[in-house]
Amino acid sequence: MKNKYIATKPIVKAGIRIAFGLLFTVGMAEQATAQTSYFSNINRDLDQYRSKALQEKVFLHLDRPSYACGETMWFKVYDVDGSLHRPLSMSKVAYVEVLDAARKPVLQAKVALQNGSGNGSFSLPLELKSGTYTVRAYTNWMKNYSPDFYFEQSVTILNTFQQLQPQEAQQPKGYAIQFFPEGGNLVAGVPNKVAFKAISEQNGKGITFTAELHDNRGNKVADFAPHKFGMGHFTFTPEPGNKYVAVVKLNDNRSFSTPLPDTEEQGYSLLLEDLDEQKLTITVHQKNLPGDQVYLLGHSRQMITFSESTFLLQGTAKFVIDKKKLADGITHFTLFSSQQQPVSQRLYFKSPENVLDLKLVTNQHQYNTRDKVTLDILAQAPGNEAMANLSMAVYKLDSLQAAPTISINSYMWLTSDLKGTIEEPAYYFSAVGASDKQAMDNLMLTHGWSRFTWKDILGKEPAPLAYVPEYNGHLLTGKVTYKSTGEAAPGVLTYLASPGSNVRFYSSTSAADGSIFFELKDFAGPKDVYVQSDFSKDSVYHFQLFNTFSEKYSDRKLPEFNILPSASQDLTQRHIQLQARHAYFGNIINKVTAVGIDSIPFYGQAPEQYKLDDYKRFQVMEEVLREYVTGVLVRKRRGKFHFMVLDRPNRSTFQNNPMVLLDGVPVFDLDKMMAFDPLKIKKVDAFTTKFYTGAQMYEGLVSFTTYSGDMAGFEVDPRALLQSYEGLQLYREFYAPTYETAEQKSSTLADFRNLLHWAPELKVQTGNRSEASFYTSDEAGTYLVVLQGVTENGAAGSKTYTFKVTPQLP
């Protein structure tokens, strides 16, 4: 019996352990199910945010980094989907501005977009002061978000007609160093990787130094120094209650001290380890906090690429991540606690595979002046053949301008998604930088994600957005108020028109808040616009048009403006180049045209047209209408003129006045129209049917067109708002002389171009070769070719290439 009891007791105990283990497992499974349900809500909220807040990215390819006043700044606009980087046809207008150092716009343009691209230019006025300026670009939809998401690039503009102001004496440089614990917190008792970034406060660029980390007893804990651009990292285990100070020694033997963030005795820390080509791990440490489960979510440009929960064992958990499942570019990892809160984050960069590889080769290694240069272009991208939309600039390298520090690759994959200023972002996609994994990881550690914050989307409906995409054309907004009170005036039918032979007419009914908007299709160039209501019915309204450009600005620091004395010769040469170009080619380079604008009136081809020069001319408008314009009956009621248009389809007559236009501007006082000199009228168009424009219906339409298209002195009702307004930018074509013949080569016209070629619309099929050609100028030196663009599948690429030009031998 004794032996039997001894033999059976362990079995009973084992049974208890098994039962307890089963209960524990069931409990854990129920808890995991509940947590998984919550975590699925996170995924849902992120997907909902992405679907209702589509991200747009705009990139500008500028022809050069440096300009002289009087020159033309050329640019190409690339508009892509922020998630997949594919050309986006949603917006039809891009807003491009040049801002001075005080962030005030000095030049502005609305550029037409088609299938995700467009191009334009600025003629730089002679009134600009020499300095560093910002060129920025965005769409109407992008105005819903922070201006930090607008494209920005600094350029140098030199006024060679003004004496350069003496450079101020350089003040002693100030320096700043910031520390970034991996995951966000410096947690005691566990290993912490701490990244740092040290910059000069004068120009925002990284500095070199050596440093020691000391604890509060003065003991050295670690040595560290930057790897690249003032950034680096070190690892140590902070002690509870200890404070740490970095003692930084600069190259000029000056030194300063700065504290690290306070050590937390409770919290979460992350440690990401890039193990090999296939895997990376993220280790989580939890100290002195409740909860035994954590959830890690990885997303790339709002697309979820990793989602997993796990239990903490003795305060530690590890996630193993398959790199193949991560998207190209930046993955934003967020750690959520069991209390359903985001508690830590880490950025990781995966080198893009969907890259447009561009290869350039010239037909010669060296050229003489006025020689023809032929470039062989090969574009390659993963997958099937696709069309690449490219732009190319060729300019001279000198002390005033070097190679660009930003490319479409670096902007799409880095700059557009990170906080702060990135020094030389193109480095990370250069031949050297692409293999510098340490520099990239330091960048990920020191620059935070900026597209959204979790608190703004978890469990919340996306906030309504104030700006809508411009699907069909430029949108102009305004407001109607009562003159007497200034309060919003709802339900007011409002008209906007601009005098011209190309008749355009727009209408809008004010909303409850008095807001109005006009979709200005085919509206290009500077014009005067009239905004009015039907003053024959009311005259109590005030009209206002709003600025269509964004009035929000980022706080990015501009590089310092510093022209060295050694650049004086290049400055003089740039001045000569500018004057020679305007003297010899000014009549060509300043031409602008309206391209892609429909010249047919908004109402199309009128069924009844009357060209008055085909008839005997009368001195009185009433006689003209009664004798020739058979579709319009002129009548008087209570001493005032009225038009009654024939309703020919129904063989009847409309009883109400039609819409009457003079050079596209509505005229509601028909007595004034009848008193107008008919000898100034070229033609009359009439619609003898009901006429619809938008939601509005009119009982016919009568359109008078003058010879000049400027209303020929007709006085619009003074209660109307008259305002100068510039529509879509007119097109300016890049001009460069050709030297195909001996006669052209021997021309005595000086050709001092430093910008040899600008081609904003190059279409190249991937996998196929293409050619581009241009001619050198009279300027010898080293020239840089910059080619960049994107395919229809979202592969972006950039390539630079140099060649030399030597003087022509006699």
pLDDT in tens, 84-125: 999 999 999 999 999 999 999 999 999 999 999 999 999 999
Predicted confidence (pLDDT) at residue 379 exceeds the cutoff of 80: yes
Q: Model confidence at 170, in pLDDT bands (50, 70, 90)?
A: low
DSSP 711: G
Rounded average pLDDT over 248-256: 89
Bridge partner list, 80: 57, 87
pLDDT in tens, 612-656: 999 999 999 999 999 999 999 999 988 999 999 999 999 999 999
What is the model's pLDDT at position 350?
Answer: 95
What is the model's pLDDT at position 281?
Answer: 96
- Distance, in Å, from the CA atom of 577 to the CA atom of 584, rounded to the nearest integer, reads 11
Rounded average pLDDT over 472-478: 94
Query: What is the strand order of the sheet 267-274 is part of?
Result: 267-274, 279-287, 316-322
| Token pair listed for 245 | 């100070």
Max mean pLDDT range (22-31, 591-600, 663-672): 663-672
pTM of the model: 0.90
Q: Model confidence at 374, in pLDDT bands (50, 70, 90)?
A: very high
**Residue partners of 425: CB distance under 8 A and separation at least 6:** 405, 406, 407, 410, 411, 414, 415
Return the amino acid letter for 465.
L
What is the model's pLDDT at position 211?
Answer: 96
pLDDT in tens, 499-510: 987 788 899 999
- Distance, in Å, from the CA atom of 162 to the CA atom of 150, rounded to the nearest integer, reads 32
Predicted confidence (pLDDT) at residue 325 exceeds the cutoff of 90: yes
Q: DSSP for 583-606?
A: HHHHHHHT--B--S---S-TT-S-
What is the model's pLDDT at position 495?
Answer: 94
CA angle 691, 697, 698 (to 5 degrees): 60
Mean per-residue pLDDT of the chain: 89
Q: Which helix (H) or strand (E) holds 99?
A: strand 93-99
- Distance, in Å, from the CA atom of 803 to the CA atom of 262, rounded to the nearest integer, reads 54
What is the model's pLDDT at position 166?
Answer: 61
Rounded average pLDDT over 31-48: 63
pLDDT in tens, 755-796: 999 999 999 999 999 999 999 999 999 999 999 999 999 999
What is the model's pLDDT at position 37?
Answer: 57
Predicted confidence (pLDDT) at residue 312 exceeds the cutoff of 90: yes
**Residue partners of 150: CB distance under 8 A and separation at least 6:** 58, 136, 137, 138, 142, 550, 554
pLDDT in tens, 44-72: 877 777 777 788 999 999 999 999 999 99
Rounded average pLDDT over 176-191: 93
Predicted confidence (pLDDT) at residue 550 exceeds the cutoff of 50: yes
Q: Are the C-beta atoms of 191 and 235 separated by less than 8 Å?
A: yes
Rounded average pLDDT over 71-91: 95
What is the model's pLDDT at position 172?
Answer: 58
User: Around 253, how many Cα atoms within 13 Å sit in the side-chain half-sphere?
Assistant: 0
Q: Which helix (H) or strand (E) holds 625?
A: helix 621-627
Within 10 angstroms of residue 438's Cβ, the number of other Cβ atoms is: 12
CA angle 238, 243, 248 (to 5 degrees): 95
Query: What is the strand order of the sheet 474-482 is part of?
Result: 515-520, 474-482, 541-545
- Distance, in Å, from the CA atom of 474 to the CA atom of 137, rounded to the nearest integer, reads 15
What is the model's pLDDT at position 602?
Answer: 81
Look at strands 151-158 and 66-68 and give their pairing: parallel
CA angle 281, 284, 288 (to 5 degrees): 170
pLDDT in tens, 698-751: 999 999 999 999 999 999 999 999 999 999 999 999 999 999 999 999 999 999
Q: Model confidence at 331, in pLDDT bands (50, 70, 90)?
A: very high
What is the model's pLDDT at position 26?
Answer: 37
- Distance, in Å, from the CA atom of 263 to the CA atom of 399, rounded to the nearest integer, reads 48
CA angle 207, 99, 726 (to 5 degrees): 160
What is the model's pLDDT at position 171?
Answer: 57
Q: Are the C-beta atoms of 132 and 561 separated by less than 8 Å?
A: yes
What is the model's pLDDT at position 173?
Answer: 66
Of the chain, the percentage scoring pLDDT greater than 90 comes to 72
